[in-house]
Amino acid sequence: MGTVIHAAEAATSETLLHPAREQLDLAAVLHALSDPMRLKIVAALAHAEEERTCGSFELPVVKSTCTHHFRVLREAGVIRQRLEGTTRMNSLRREDLDACFPGLVDAVLRAAHAAHQ
């Protein structure tokens, strides 16, 4: 008897920390958004109809850099990451962001879109 933690279980039950809506911090969110790669990720998630895996983004950076960007976004409360097996499924925390910072995500997405036209 007793508790046995298999390596596979430990990996899949990895704790992905997310700040609660009331913990979202403006400076931290702006910092998370202040990078071209992370802006691309956020814009893509804003237009996605469902969750997307990290690998589905065609970003011109190595995997570890990519993982870092997703972590910064998650820890600031910009995206939610959910494990499905060992795959991280990503979505934008649009409702939380709009509730805490009305108009901010809209303005950022509009500006990011305009910059790439």
Q: Which of 27, 49, 60, 117 binds its own copies (CB under 8 A)?
A: 27
Q: Which stretch binds its own copies (CB under 8 A): 3-11, 26-34, 55-63, 80-88?
A: 26-34
Q: Which of 46, 54, 59, 104 binds its own copies (CB under 8 A)?
A: 104
Write a three-state SS string for the chain: CCCCCCHHHHHHCCCCCCCCHHHCCHHHHHHHHCCHHHHHHHHHHHHCCCCEEHHHCCCCCCHHHHHHHHHHHHHHCCEEEEEECCEEEEEECHHHHHHHCCCHHHHHHHHHHHHCC
Residues that bind its own copies (CB under 8 A): 25-28, 30-31, 33-36, 39, 100-104, 106-108, 110-112, 115
